């Protein structure tokens, strides 16, 4: 496998990174909304958020991709395939991130918000200045862990026809008839992107727990 | 604007869908069993202290957790034959599910084992038991009990991963749905139906694992 | 179990609900709503032609190692775009996504190695055919397959959602273990790795296989022949007429003859005036 073929794989990698970025960056604001909705005491809002999270955690990512890909046109949104898949990943990320952040909001001691209430701070200020910063810090390991899941999840875009890294590997394997080599390289490329992120997550987790012992 | 939706054209083929569901369940349960075995063995090796084997297990875990399941299953199905190892689509699916689930299980179960009080081990040694017997008889069950919720979540994910096995021509729910899609072109209806079925399936698996958990761990702790 | 620590007795709940309902009501009005399929005039106004193609199906449509869309279908698409005076945009589609993508208006027209069958003609509008290929069962030299009956005891791979699938299913006995893969790439991988002893493939596969593993495989039996046509949405006469008019003239040109020789390695065939169960012209 020469340089040309390796560049071919790198082109696929480009899409992997792009789809991950869209999903993660898109998922953050919506995940944030889901987390807030999930910690609301209004029953309808909380249930809706809970249903959203349950839906995405209880069904395969592959199905989510297909449903959004074929479903968007039905609600009048005819977008390019990459955007359809991007929207699917965004929705997926919003559910998982929303759940992670919901957990971390609830992990912040109640004393913090009680103190804010005693000081006369409203909902907005309490969340913005006291609870959320702490929640965010607590959530970092899990959030970064999810980023790794998302990177791996983009491989499923292959089944919807995307020429991202996994699909490129499949195609290259046919062109040069060396599946062992090609899939090993593809695996190595995924590993090279995911592993540092995983390690970062673990390091942050250690740092966070050190402070709490 | 929206084309007319026709769900009946999909739902009328419920016998095939049922076959797909039963195959999915078989793959999932087999995968879970293998994953549990790999998880327990992996932790046992890691905690045994032997540097080389510990390193190998850790390496295995890192590789599996940092590469996509699709690539893993493609590797086993399409690439391993070139090393002389050719496995059928069902065996490949179960193996891939088991290895993938097993790597995560190792991490989860290890946390449980580490959470068991040191006193348990010390008491075991004081009674003259070997480490592996202590692990098997005394430590394992409380360890599993401690991390059981995490393990069930992981196993639900494993069940959902069976959908990916369609790419190596394994017969399960998604492959049945895709057959219907090929013949009717009703992609949205097919995948919407499959999604609903998977949701019910994952709830059932969760419930089943909870019931098993209640029976297995129904002993007082204090 | 302790009560969930949500920090507030009264969260954003009510305000959020009002916001969400408002958003749901307003969004459909604000987001650009494409209510009709893109007509030929719409395309001409936008200056762009969006063609659905295959990304990994040589020689019809495939992406080469430098990322460029190539192949017989792609060349026809380019000539069509030139004929209309429009800029061309390729959308690579998986086998199964071709027809649904056309019907859900992701593309204006499909030129994606789509075999013309009466079943498909019920859902989409084909144009006049632009290519014919023979379909075979291809297998290892030492596997005995001399008639469809031999398939009954074997596993045969095929890409799903393709005419290969349709033809193989029709020809093979009920006891055949037909193994369906997502696309041509995976099917050929299955053959090369020995996961299946034979696959359904078009006439071009043998050349590729011979290059990859000389002397190992051969064409066994013919399972049918298929004409390929471009496809548009039912009822859209403008697109159908545009392609038919274009190809009617194009197929007698020297440029086309050269194109055909290059990709199909053959002479331009006699195109049929009609095919059973399939109309070329939109009613």
What is the pLDDT averaged over residues A78-101? 92
* Domains in chain B: ranges and CATH: 14-216 (1.10.3720.10)
CA distance C223 to C156: 13
Mean pLDDT of chain A: 90
Choose between A41 and C110: higher pLDDT.
Answer: C110
Hey, how many other C-beta atoms are within 10 angstroms of the C-beta on B149? 12
Query: Percent of chain B at pLDDT above 90?
Result: 85
Above 90 in pLDDT, residue A196?
yes
Hey, how many other C-beta atoms are within 10 angstroms of the C-beta on C233? 22
Nearest to C193 among B3, B81, B169 (CB): B81
CATH level 3 topology of C40-131+228-264: D-Maltodextrin-Binding Protein; domain 2 (3.40.190)
- When mean pLDDT is compared across A35-44, B26-35, B82-91, C136-145, the lowest value belongs to A35-44
CA distance B133 to chain C (A): 35
| Minimum CA–CA partner of B1 in chain A | A76
Hey, how many other C-beta atoms are within 10 angstroms of the C-beta on B48? 13
The pLDDT assigned to B2 comes to: 47
The 3-state secondary structure of chain B reads CCCCCCCHHHHCCHHHHHHHHHHHHHHHHHHHHHHHHHHHHHHHHHHHCCHHHHHHHHHHHHHHHCCCHHHHHHHHHHHHHHHCCCCCHHHHHHHHHHHHHHHHHHHHHHHHHHHCCHHHHHHHHHCCCCHHHHHHHHHHHHHHHHHHHHHHHHHHHHHHHHHHHHHHCCCCHHHHHHHHHHHHCCHHHHHHHHHHHHHHHHHHHHHHHHHHHHHHCCCCCC
Q: Do C35 and A175 touch (CB under 8 A)?
A: no
Nearest to residue A74, comparing CAs of C34, B198, C27?
C34
Q: Do C13 and A159 touch (CB under 8 A)?
A: no
Say what angle helices B89-115 and B51-65 make with each other, to 10 degrees. Answer: 120
Query: Percent of chain A at pLDDT above 70?
Result: 99
Nearest to residue C102, comparing CAs of C228, C111, B139?
C111
What is the pLDDT averaged over residues B206-216? 93
Residues of C in contact with A107 (CB under 8 A): 5
- When mean pLDDT is compared across A102-116, A199-213, C110-124, the lowest value belongs to A199-213
The pLDDT assigned to C36 comes to: 47
Choose between C22 and B50: higher pLDDT.
Answer: B50
CATH level 3 topology of C133-225: D-Maltodextrin-Binding Protein; domain 2 (3.40.190)
CA distance A102 to chain C (A): 9
What is the pLDDT averaged over residues A41-54? 91
What one-character DSSP code corresponds to residue C129?
E
| Minimum CA–CA partner of A187 in chain B | B67
Q: Mutation test of the interface with chain B: which of C36, C117, C190, C199, choosing the one with the most B Cβ atoms within 10 A?
A: C190
Nearest to residue B113, comparing CAs of B138, B93, B95?
B138
- Is there a common fold for C40-131+228-264 and C133-225? yes
Q: Where are the domains of chain C?
A: 40-131+228-264, 133-225
Say what angle helices B51-65 and A179-212 make with each other, to 10 degrees. Answer: 100
CA distance B175 to B166: 5
The pLDDT assigned to A182 comes to: 93
- Low-confidence stretches of chain C (pLDDT < 70) are 1-21, 23-37
Chains with 3+ CB–CB pairs under 8 A to B are A, C
CA distance B56 to B66: 15
Q: Do C103 and B182 touch (CB under 8 A)?
A: no
From 3.30.450.20, 3.40.50.720, 3.90.1300.10, 1.10.3720.10, which CATH number describes the A3-212 domain? 1.10.3720.10
- Show which residues on chain B lie within 8 Å of chain C, measured between beta carbons: 1, 3, 77-79, 81-82, 86, 89, 166-169, 175, 178-179, 181-183, 185, 187-188
The pLDDT assigned to A148 comes to: 96
Q: Which residues pair with C181 in a beta bridge?
A: C159
**Which tokens sit at B11?**
């739902």
List, in order, residues 6 or more apart from B52 with CB less than 8 Å away. none
Strands C155-159 and C177-181: parallel
Q: What is the pLDDT of residues B72-92, one digit of tens each?
A: 999 999 999 999 999 999 999
- When mean pLDDT is compared across A45-49, A56-60, A192-196, C94-98, the lowest value belongs to C94-98
Is residue A41 within 8 Å of A52, Cβ to Cβ? Answer: no
pLDDT level of residue A3 (50, 70, 90 thresholds):
confident
The pLDDT assigned to C33 comes to: 46
pLDDT level of residue B1 (50, 70, 90 thresholds):
very low
What one-character DSSP code corresponds to residue C271?
P
What is the pLDDT averaged over residues A85-111? 93
The pLDDT assigned to C26 comes to: 63
- Strand, coil or helix: C17: helix
Chain center to CA of B131: 28
A195 shares contact with chain C (CB less than 8 Å): no
pLDDT level of residue A177 (50, 70, 90 thresholds):
confident
Q: What is the pLDDT of residues B104-160, one digit of tens each?
A: 999 999 999 999 999 999 999 999 999 889 999 999 999 999 999 999 999 999 999
Cis check: omega of the bond before C59, within 30 degrees of 0: yes
- Strand, coil or helix: C177: strand
Q: What is the pLDDT of residues B157-190, one digit of tens each?
A: 999 999 999 999 999 999 999 999 998 888 899 9
- Strand, coil or helix: C282: coil
The pLDDT assigned to C35 comes to: 40
Q: Mutation test of the interface with chain C: which of A6, A14, A40, choosing the one with the most C Cβ atoms within 10 A?
A: A40
What is the pLDDT averaged over residues A121-149? 89
Residues of C in contact with B9 (CB under 8 A): none
Hey, how many other C-beta atoms are within 10 angstroms of the C-beta on B121? 16
Interface of A with C in 123-162 (CB under 8 A): 123, 126-127, 131, 159-161
**Strand locations in chain C (E):** 48-54, 56-57, 61-63, 69-70, 87-93, 109-110, 125-140, 155-159, 177-181, 198-202, 217-232
Nearest to C7 among A69, A110, A175 (CB): A110
The pLDDT assigned to B117 comes to: 92
Residues A6, A7, A13, A14, Cα dihedral to 10°? 170
Above 90 in pLDDT, residue B194?
yes
CA distance A77 to B2: 10
- When mean pLDDT is compared across A104-118, A124-138, C32-46, C71-85, the lowest value belongs to C32-46
C210 shares contact with chain A (CB less than 8 Å): no
CA distance B190 to chain A (A): 9
C215 shares contact with chain A (CB less than 8 Å): no
């Amino acid at each position: 496998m020469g340089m040309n073929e390796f560049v071919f794989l790198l082109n696929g990698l480009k899409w992997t990174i792009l789809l991950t970025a869209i999903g993660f960056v898109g998922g953050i604001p919506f995940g944030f909304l889901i987390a807030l909705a999930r910690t609301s005491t209004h029953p309808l809002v909380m249930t809706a958020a809970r249903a959203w999270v349950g839906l995405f955690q209880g069904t395969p990512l592959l199905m989510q991709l297909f449903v959004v890909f074929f479903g968007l046109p039905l609600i009048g949104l005819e977008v390019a395939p990459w955007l359809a898949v991007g929207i699917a990943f965004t929705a997926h990320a919003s559910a998982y991130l929303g759940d992670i952040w919901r957990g971390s909001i609830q992990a912040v001691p109640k004393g913090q918000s009680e103190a804010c209430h005693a000081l006369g701070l409203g909902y907005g200020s309490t969340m913005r200045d006291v609870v959320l910063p702490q929640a965010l810090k607590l959530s970092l390991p899990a959030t970064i862990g999810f980023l790794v899941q998302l990177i791996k999840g983009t491989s499923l875009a292959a089944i919807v026809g995307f020429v991202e890294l996994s699909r490129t590997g499949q195609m290259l394997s046919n062109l040069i008839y060396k599946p062992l080599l090609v899939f090993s390289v593809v695996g190595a490329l995924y590993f090279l992107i995911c592993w540092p992120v995983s390690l970062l997550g673990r390091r942050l987790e250690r740092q966070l727990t050190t402070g709490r012992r | 604007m929206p084309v007319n939706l026709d769900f009946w054209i999909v739902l009328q083929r419920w016998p095939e869908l049922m076959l797909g569901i039963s195959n999915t369940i078989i793959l999932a349960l087999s995968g879970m069993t293998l994953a549990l075995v790999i998880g327990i063995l992996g932790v046992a090796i890691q905690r045994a202290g032997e540097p080389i084997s510990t390193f190998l297990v850790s390496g295995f875990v890192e590789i599996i957790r940092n590469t996509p399941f699709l690539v893993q299953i493609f590797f086993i199905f399409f690439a391993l034959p070139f090393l002389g190892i050719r496995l059928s689509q069902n065996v490949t699916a179960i193996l891939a599910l088991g290895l993938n689930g097993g790597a995560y299980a190792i991490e989860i179960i290890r946390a449980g084992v580490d959470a068991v009080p040191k006193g348990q081990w010390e008491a075991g040694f004081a009674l003259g038991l070997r480490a592996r017997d202590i692990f098997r008889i005394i430590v394992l069950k409380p360890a599993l009990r401690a991390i059981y919720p995490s393990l069930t979540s992981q196993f639900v994910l494993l069940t959902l991963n069976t959908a990916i096995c369609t790419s190596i021509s394994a017969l399960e729910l998604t492959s049945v749905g895709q057959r219907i899609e090929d013949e009717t072109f009703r992609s949205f209806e097919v995948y919407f139906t499959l999604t609903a079925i998977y949701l019910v399936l994952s709830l059932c698996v969760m419930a089943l694992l909870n019931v098993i958990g209640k029976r297995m761990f129904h002993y007082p702790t204090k | 179990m302790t009560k969930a620590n949500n920090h507030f007795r009264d969260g954003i709940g009510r305000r959020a609900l009002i916001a969400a309902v408002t958003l749901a009501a307003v969004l459909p009005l604000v987001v650009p709503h494409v209510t009709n399929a893109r007509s030929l005039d719409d395309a001409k106004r936008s200056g762009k032609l969006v063609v659905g193609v295959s990304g990994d199906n040589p020689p019809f449509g495939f992406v080469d190692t430098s990322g460029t869309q190539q192949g017989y279908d792609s060349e026809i698409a380019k000539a069509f775009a030139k004929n209309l005076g429009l800029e061309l945009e390729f959308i690579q589609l998986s086998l199964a996504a071709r027809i649904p993508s056309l019907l859900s208006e992701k593309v204006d027209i499909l030129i994606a190695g789509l075999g013309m069958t009466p079943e498909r003609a019920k859902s989409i509008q084909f144009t006049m055919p632009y290519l014919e290929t023979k379909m075979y069962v291809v297998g290892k030299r030492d596997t005995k397959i001399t008639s469809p009956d031999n398939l009954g005891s074997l596993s045969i791979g095929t890409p799903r959602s393709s005419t290969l699938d349709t033809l193989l299913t029709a020809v093979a006995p009920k006891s055949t273990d037909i193994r369906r893969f997502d696309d041509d790439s995976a099917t050929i991988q299955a053959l090369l790795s020995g996961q299946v002893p034979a696959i359904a493939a078009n006439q071009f596969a043998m050349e590729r296989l011979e290059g990859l593993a000389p002397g190992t495989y051969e064409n066994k039996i013919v399972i049918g022949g298929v004409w390929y046509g471009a496809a548009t949405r039912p009822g859209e006469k403008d697109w159908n007429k545009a392609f038919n008019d274009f190809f009617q003239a194009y197929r007698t040109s020297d440029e086309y003859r050269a194109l055909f020789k290059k990709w199909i390695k053959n002479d331009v065939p006699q195109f049929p005036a009609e095919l059973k169960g399939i109309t070329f012209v939109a009613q």
